[in-house]
Structure 1
Amino acid sequence: MFNRKISLIPLSLALILVLLPLVGCIPKSPLSQKNPVTVLGSLEGNNSNVKNAEVILTKGKLSVVETVPLTNNKFEASLKVPVGQWDLSVILVDKLGMPLFQSKPQTINVTGRDPISIELILRPADSIIFIEINLDDYIFREKAMRARIHFNDDVHEIIRDSIDEPLGKEISLSPGSYEFKIELYSESFRAGDKLGIGMWEVIDLAENETKTITWYPEVDEVIISGKIETLLPAPKHLQYSLEDAQVTLTWDPILLDETLGYLILVQKDPLERFELLNSTPIKDHSFTHDLDEKEIVHNLIYVVAGVTRNGLVGYYSKISIIDP
């Protein structure tokens, strides 16, 4: 019998020995790869102020900026960025770095497999417009705490916390013509808190322009005048005469300048309201009412009232007719 000495290698060390030869064979993670992105652009027309193009790729808090010169109104930039989704924009600037044109932001996917080439359409850079709302002569200036500013279909909202704060806003817009209006609100933007309906108007915003608009709420002066008008007194000495099927009423005229005429009413049944016999006030101070056979056998009650030039009906003068 021979005695054998067996050496036991720890398992962790064995695994390391096995894995070490394979380290060089592990492929590089696609997350660490960089893929070239080529951005091409051109500017229509001839703008000698444009000197450089700033190509900007952003993802969250990360950004990559490449500045290239503009040659014959064209530029080309190549950037190597990690795979993933990036937001791309280009700004054309003058020699001082002031933006003159910019592209519409767009999202690109860098896959790590194939190079990406992108052509952009450039538009004039945004201009700045300052909106100042002047409430000095506005009757609801202490209630106007909010405003909505409309530029075409875009709406910008302003909220102030106290009446001591100015009501205004700085807004970036592309150059062009806009339909514009402002609406004022009190405690909220609910319809019931709207203080007035704004009026649409057209404004123009030029390229590279900084414009200030001082807006005043649309108001108009309302002049209210009036006079006190009293009721006309009841006509005096109302009398009647009954002959065959006719009732003739007479009364003394109301000798006041505001008297336009007289209304005559009759009640044929105590359970019914009075019936107006003349829709238009008469100027005479007598009136004849033709009766039918049914009315003759009933008690009739007539009233006469004066009417002013403003249509105010005065006190009634009443008389009863009893058919014998």
Structure 2
Amino acid sequence: MKTYIFDPISDDALAYARERLQVVTWQDAAITQVANAEACIVRTYKMDKAQIDAMPNLKIIAKHGVGTDNIDIPYAKSKGILVTNTPRANSNSVAEQAVALILDCSRKITQAHIDNEKGLERNQPMYLKGYEITGKKLGLVGIGHIGYLVGSHLKQGFDMDVYAYDPFVTQKACEDMGFHYVKNLKDILTECDVISISVPLTKDTRDLINTEEFSLMKDTAILINTSRGGIVNEDALYQALQEKKIWGAGFDAFVAEPLPAHDRLFSCFNFVGTPHNGANTREALTRMGTGAVDEILRLEKGEPTLTDLGARIK
């Protein structure tokens, strides 16, 4: 199948694609020269109506990753184009990023590095003291693949007591995972020492964490967001950090990405921000790339694809 790859993918995944498909990449031809493509693979490239219309032979858009904010799925469906993704391919990498951000915030690792580089008069300055997460309460907002792994890693590795809120998961399913079932988000916010967000951005989750929610948190709370920008209101986040209403925040997702240089959040001593880097590991990039190729191959062979995001649209 003639396939156009719009974004850089791992060398291993690209070799896998070239062995199995008729591949043209962003390196081989101008993006405007895509009219003959029957399939495409995208990471962050925007597949809007104009781009879809420029590809009259397109049969499938295979997303390299999970989030599909960059794809106009309803329009693709109206044109009979299948849209797929690779929902489990990056889960472990993103979960590990969440764990890393938690440890960074709890022990002020990034700030300690910055200050050490600038020069310190003595080791172990009191203002860089951290706290242990072992045995503390972890609150999960969302327990899909990533949320589950975050909870499992921290329960097994740090003996954290895990509480989970997810309106789409039953109490039994939650307890089968080994987590405490929580009916109300408020209880997560008031009781937990570390709160990790792993939900998609929807009309219901936009500004899910705002000024009122920050007022409920402990002043020792750590807030982690590795999902999407907009779920946490960034004005409210800035105020909470500046006023030390919470201990700290570690974010890998923002409304504007990458977060602009000198953004005011960087002025917060208790903030760590990374450029949506959670899935950027060798292993996840290979799994996402080969997974996207495999979905194209299934369609080419007349086999059912593992995902059909357009099926959710009535």
Larger radius of gyration: 1
Q: Does TM, normalized by the shorter one, top 0.5?
A: no
TM-score (norm 1): 0.23
Which has the bigger relative contact order, CA under 8 A and spacing at least 6?
2
TM-score (norm 2): 0.23
Greater per-residue helix proportion: 2
